[in-house]
Amino acid sequence: MQFIIYLSNIIIPLLIFYIVFTGLIEKRPVYDDFVRGAKDGMKTVASILPTLIGLMVGVGVLRSSGFLDFISDLLARPAEQLGFPAPLVPLSIVRMFSSSAATGLALDLFSQYGTDSLIGTIASISMSCTETIFYTMSVYFMAAKVTKTRYTLAGALLSTLSGIIASTILGHWLVS
């Protein structure tokens, strides 16, 4: 175990030294390449920043307006009948928009119900097998200048539903 901790502490510095060493061997202007890459990165950040701000504002509005609670209350009873715990409905909705907001909700669930409870187990599995659909689509499609998304949203929603179903089944199986 100590070896893994040591390896995890040195892996990033080793990777950086490897990149610099390889650049020097190939007689590349390593620092100039780094600065050029940083400039390109800043251009990318500047181009997707409005999208990120819009998503953050949208999630904030959903949470503070009470709309998220309204939708959660609306879906709670059908979710319970299908074996999906009602407290996880807001997490599943927010997860499609924001990973950090979903992480905050998951931490609230962990403190309220416990990490080893059915709700905590399903929340953990669900967080690892679902994606922030709208964030990912907007940021990556904006950065890559994709205009025709075709079936991306339908496929992403279907895969998220599959992840939620799988996490529910696995959570019930693991806890029982």
Give residue-wise pLDDT tens across range 49-101: 887 788 778 878 887 898 888 988 899 999 999 999 999 999 999 899 888 88
3-state percent helix, strand, coil for the chain, nearest multiple of 5: 85, 0, 15
pLDDT for 100: 84
Q: Is 141 left (phi over 0), alpha (psi -120 to 50) or beta?
A: alpha
| pLDDT at residue number 115 | 92
- Burial class for 56, CB neighbours closer than 10 Å (0-12, 13-18, 19+): middle
pLDDT per residue as tens digits for the range 145-176? 888 888 999 999 999 999 999 999 999 999 98
Q: Over pLDDT 90: what percentage of the chain?
A: 57
pTM equals 0.72
